[in-house]
């Protein structure tokens, strides 16, 4: 994966991926599209820019044209009749514009496809072709390369992880006024390995502190790891299956080394999706432990009475942004609501919500693709309008990618809201042992 | 068997053979079953995909485009009836009078819907941008088959023309966009199974619901 514009495009490698890596599912989707175009206004990118090239059907068609030329009889004999195109630099750059510049792989169009195909899966395959062609945005490629080389996408060394956790642990002890409170790290035999997004260590330590407080109050046996802790997977965004397998494999091996009974994934949509739903298939074996989102775990703690929350501690109106990879593509739909209804005094839904929610515009790795920043912010207009319509003063989202985008949308569209994680919201509502409920 | 019945039968055999050959050639790696433990039910997802997912309320793409949705449903109902009628005609007998009247209405509506969808394809900038000659050819072949079917319902002597039009349609089906008739089944069931396994569909609450 190298430079988006400067490096030579590898036509042969791209054609080889198109020829040999297509599976029956993907080929079936490409054969099934009838270009009805009814998906158009289900896509936040098209709704925001109004361009014909931004409809899901148009994005699928960019890939389907290459497919038809390579894999269908009429595509070879009468390419103009069926709109087939050869793999050329021009056709690949058009595909890159569609798959990286106009699609966050949020999957909303899949739920609305009249035929029943999955355009997001097709865009992932398109990205695999573009990885082979060396047309991946350099920011996405760099993050994936860092994760492969160092065990996390921000190349944070283990010593820095331990130092950061040490000062967060001091904060935890002060908060709960218990000198024995701990943020265990690299502790074998813990029940839970809590795997995190490296951005939490660098930029969002409060979300990590909040999760630690929740685990502490719930009496969980848990640990962090100073190595291979990264739940993010930029190779997945690049459509690089081998890289995605390697990145997920590092964390899963670390969990096995520590002998944990469960892997709990911090608030990260694609991190959850890759580890919960994709990793076993990449590795070709069932995982030896369940993988759950932190949000699911908190919902369980509440159900088991292991946490007491006082919603009056979060009095401002709160709305929830559903991360596409956690909700629509991950199935964690009601748990965030269960938690927020217990944690805040005034919870208001966006419309539409749950699996039908609009993408914030920051999915698909676009936050790392600076060449698409303007489009990303423009595509976020739909989400900004949804947020404004709720009248909420706080937007909660259990995904750090979404949080970054929402923070930018907050500034760009002058929303005047606070953006936070579920962990932070729950931590603020926690009734600590020994304290009285308000 | 009449000459046009034989032609229709040959076209049917060729179409089925082409689809089966494509399937049996195994050109593409088989899709593997997911190894991740399910949260929901793949079976429920597939059942949903072939039942409630067809309802206009199930998808924004349908509820926001009700005239197109209705035209699409009517068009495909007419196509299914037309294909069944073609199969029944292989013996060379005229379309029974008991069903000819209702079929004529269905074929007329189907033809009109097909033409309407074609006009929409030309007029909508979003559709025009992605349309290829195959879209027109496929639509035309279907519309001609429906129209000749309509005539055959009213004029029994027109059955051979209907069969020739049907044969042309069947011969083209495995080649152009009409092949979606074959691949749609697998695509729909695969997406349904994925969404079902993940507990996304069928939705626990009414789809598209807003505030609690």
Would B48 be classed as within a structural domain? no
Helices (H), A134-274: 138-150, 158-176, 198-202, 205-218, 234-238, 241-258, 269-273
Range of the domain at B168: 60-200
The confidence band for B205, taking pLDDT boundaries of 50, 70 and 90, is: low
CB contact (8 A) between residue B201 and residue A111: yes
Mark yes or no for CB contact A38/B124 under 8 Å. no
Report if residue B39 sits inside a domain: no
> What does DSSP assign to residue A404?
H
pLDDT digits (tens, 9 = 90+) for A100-152: 999 999 999 999 999 999 999 999 999 999 999 999 999 999 999 999 999 99
Tell me whether B191 touches chain A (CB under 8 Å): yes
Four-CA torsion B55, B60, B63, B64, nearest 10 degrees? -160
Q: Which of A34, A57, A352 to mutate to test the interface with B (most CBs of B within 10 A)?
A: A34
- Which of residues 275 through 304 in chain A touch B, CB cutoff 8 A? 276-281, 284-287, 290
Average predicted confidence (pLDDT) for chain B: 93
CA-only gyration radius of chain A, Å: 22
B10 falls within a domain: no
Contact A81 B133 (CB under 8 A): yes
Percent helix, strand and coil across chain A, each rounded to 5?
A: 55, 10, 35
Q: Which among A22, A26, A74 has the least Cβ separation from residue B176?
A: A74
Beta bridge partners of residue B41, listed in sequence order: none
Interatomic CA distance for residues A368 and A362, integer angstroms: 9
Instruction: Give the residue-averaged pLDDT of B10-17.
Output: 97
Rg (CA), chain B: 20
Q: Does residue B29 fall inside a structural domain?
A: no
Nearest to A92 by CA among A7, A3, A10, A1: A10
B133–chain A Cβ distance below 8 A for any pair = yes
ipTM of the complex in this document: 0.94
Pairing of strands A291-293, A418-420: unpaired
pLDDT given at position B211: 37
DSSP letters of B35-79? -SPPSS-HHHHHHHHTTGGGSGGG-HHHHT-HHHHHHHHHHHHHH
A115 in contact with chain B, both atoms CB, cutoff 8 A:
yes
Residue B9 lies in a domain: no
Question: Which chain A residues are closer than 8 Å to B73 by Cβ?
Answer: none
CB B83 within 8 A of CB B61: no
- Gap between the Cα atoms of B108 and B124, Å rounded: 24
Within a domain: B2: no
Report pLDDT for A3: 45
Is the pLDDT at A1 greater than 60? The verdict is no
Q: Count of CB atoms within 10 A of residue A122's CB?
A: 25
A-chain residues near B53 (CB < 8 A): 116
B126·A110 Cβ contact <8 A: no
Question: So what's the pLDDT on residue B209?
Answer: 45
Q: Determine which helix (DSSP H) or strand (DSSP E) holds A30, and give its type and residue range.
A: helix A24-32
Q: Which of A37, A80, A112 sits opposite B60 (nearest CB)?
A: A112
The percent of residues above 70 in pLDDT, for chain B, comes to 96
Give the number of domains in chain B. Answer: 1
pTM of the model: 0.95
Nearest CA to CA, how far is B157 from chain A (Å)? Answer: 34
Largest CA distance in chain B: 64
Q: Are A374 and A299 in contact (CB under 8 A)?
A: no
Which residues 64-83 on chain A approach chain B with CB closer than 8 angstroms?
71-74, 80-83
What is the token pair recorded at A33? 């599209």
């Amino acid at each position: 994966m190298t430079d988006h514009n400067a490096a030579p495009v590898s036509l042969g490698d791209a054609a080889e991926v198109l020829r040999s890596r297509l599976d029956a599912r993907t080929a079936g989707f490409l054969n099934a599209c009838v270009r009805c175009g009814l998906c158009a206004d289900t896509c936040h990118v098209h709704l925001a820019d109004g361009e014909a090239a931004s409809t899901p059907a148009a994005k699928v068609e960019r890939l389907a044209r290459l497919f038809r030329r390579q894999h269908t009889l009429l595509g070879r004999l009468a390419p103009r009749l069926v709109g087939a195109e050869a793999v050329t630099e021009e056709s690949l750059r058009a595909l890159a514009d569609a798959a990286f510049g106009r699609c966050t792989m949020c999957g909303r169009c899949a739920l609305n496809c009249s035929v029943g195909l999955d355009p997001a899966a097709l865009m992932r395959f398109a990205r695999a072709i573009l990885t082979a062609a060396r047309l991946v945005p350099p920011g996405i490629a760099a993050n994936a390369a860092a994760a492969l080389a160092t065990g996390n996408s921000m190349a944070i060394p283990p010593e820095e992880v331990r130092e950061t956790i040490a000062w967060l642990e001091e904060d935890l002890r002060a908060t709960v006024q218990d000198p024995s409170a701990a943020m265990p790290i690299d502790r074998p035999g813990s029940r839970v390995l809590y795997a995190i997004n490296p951005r939490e260590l660098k930029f969002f330590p409060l979300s990590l502190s909040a999760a630690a407080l929740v685990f502490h109050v719930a009496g969980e046996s848990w640990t962090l790891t100073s190595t291979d802790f990264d739940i993010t997977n930029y190779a997945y965004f690049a459509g690089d299956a081998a890289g995605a397998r390697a990145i997920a494999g590092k964390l899963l091996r670390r969990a096995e080394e520590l002998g944990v009974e469960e892997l709990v994934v911090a608030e990260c949509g694609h991190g959850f999706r890759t580890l919960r739903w994709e990793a076993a298939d990449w590795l070709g074996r069932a995982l030896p432990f369940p993988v759950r989102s932190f949000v699911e775990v908190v919902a369980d703690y509440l159900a088991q009475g292991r946490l007491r929350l006082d919603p009056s501690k979060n009095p401002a109106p709160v709305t929830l942004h559903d991360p596409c990879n956690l909700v629509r593509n991950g199935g964690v739909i009601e748990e965030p609501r269960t938690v927020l209804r217990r944690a805040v005094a005034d919870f208001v839904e966006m419309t539409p919500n749950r699996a039908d929610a609009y993408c914030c515009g920051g999915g698909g790795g676009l936050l790392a693709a600076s060449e698409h920043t303007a489009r990303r912010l423009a595509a976020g207009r739909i989400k900004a309008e949804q947020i404004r319509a709720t009248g909420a003063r706080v937007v909660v989202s259990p995904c750090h990618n979404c949080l970054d985008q929402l923070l930018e949308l907050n500034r760009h569209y002058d929303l005047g809201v606070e953006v936070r994680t579920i962990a932070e919201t729950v931590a603020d509502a926690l009734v600590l042992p020994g304290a009285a409920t308000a | 068997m009449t000459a046009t019945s034989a032609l229709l039968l040959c076209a049917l055999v060729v179409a089925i053979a082409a689809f089966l050959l494509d399937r049996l050639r195994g050109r593409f790696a088989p899709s593997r079953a997911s190894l991740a433990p399910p949260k929901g039910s793949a079976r429920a997802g597939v059942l949903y995909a072939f039942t409630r997912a067809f309802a206009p309320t199930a998808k924004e793409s349908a509820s926001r485009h009700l005239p197109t949705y209705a035209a699409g449903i009517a068009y495909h109902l007419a196509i299914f009836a037309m294909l069944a009628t073609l199969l029944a005609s292989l013996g060379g007998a005229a379309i029974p009078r008991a069903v000819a009247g209702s079929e004529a209405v269905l074929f007329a509506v189907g033809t009109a819907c097909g033409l309407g969808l074609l006009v929409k394809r030309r007029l909508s900038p979003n559709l025009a941008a992605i349309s290829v000659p195959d879209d027109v050819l496929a639509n035309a072949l279907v519309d001609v088959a429906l129209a000749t079917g309509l005539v055959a319902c009213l004029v029994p002597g027109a059955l051979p023309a209907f069969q020739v039009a049907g044969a042309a349609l069947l011969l083209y089906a495995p080649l152009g966009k009409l092949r979606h008739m074959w691949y749609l089944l697998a695509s729909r069931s695969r997406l349904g199974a994925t969404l079902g396994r993940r507990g996304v569909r069928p939705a626990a609450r009414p789809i598209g619901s807003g505030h609690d």
